Amino acid sequence: MHVRSLFAGAAALALLALPALAAEYLGGLVQSTDIGGQMVLTDANGMALYTFDNDTQGDGKSVCNDDCAVKWPPLMADDSAQPEGDFTIVTRDDGTKMWAYKGWPLYYWYEDTAAGDTKGDGVGGVWHLAIE
């Protein structure tokens, strides 16, 4: 009986440790996920998305290109993608498209390796979790 209770308790704790999904956007490409008590935008796999203070909100551009984009890969959009609600399309310097939320281009952080990781939050004082 004790063993069964221990397994049940461990299973409950494991479920609480996982990020909790709250809403889906862009056909499930982006989700709003409870990570540490904040509703963080993630991709469909639970990987956190970030914004960059050096971008200009709403100008339709990303200033994170070349070496910057190696560490901060953009959340890419298909050529056929259309704006939806608070999500808009940004054209990058190389002509590719990426998603933006409320005018802020969205990026990943290359050191985040598992769903729920938020290692990029606060990097350089200019990178922040994309909060809903």
pLDDT at 18: 52
pLDDT in tens, the chain (132 residues): 554 544 444 444 444 445 566 799 999 999 999 999 999 999 999 999 999 999 999 999 999 999 999 999 999 999 999 999 999 999 999 999 999 999 999 999 999 999 999 999 999 999 999 999
What is the reported pTM? 0.84
Instruction: Give Cα 18 to chain centroid, integer Å.
Output: 16
Residue 130: CA count within 13 A, CB half-sphere: 30
Domain boundaries, the chain: 20-129
pLDDT at 14: 43
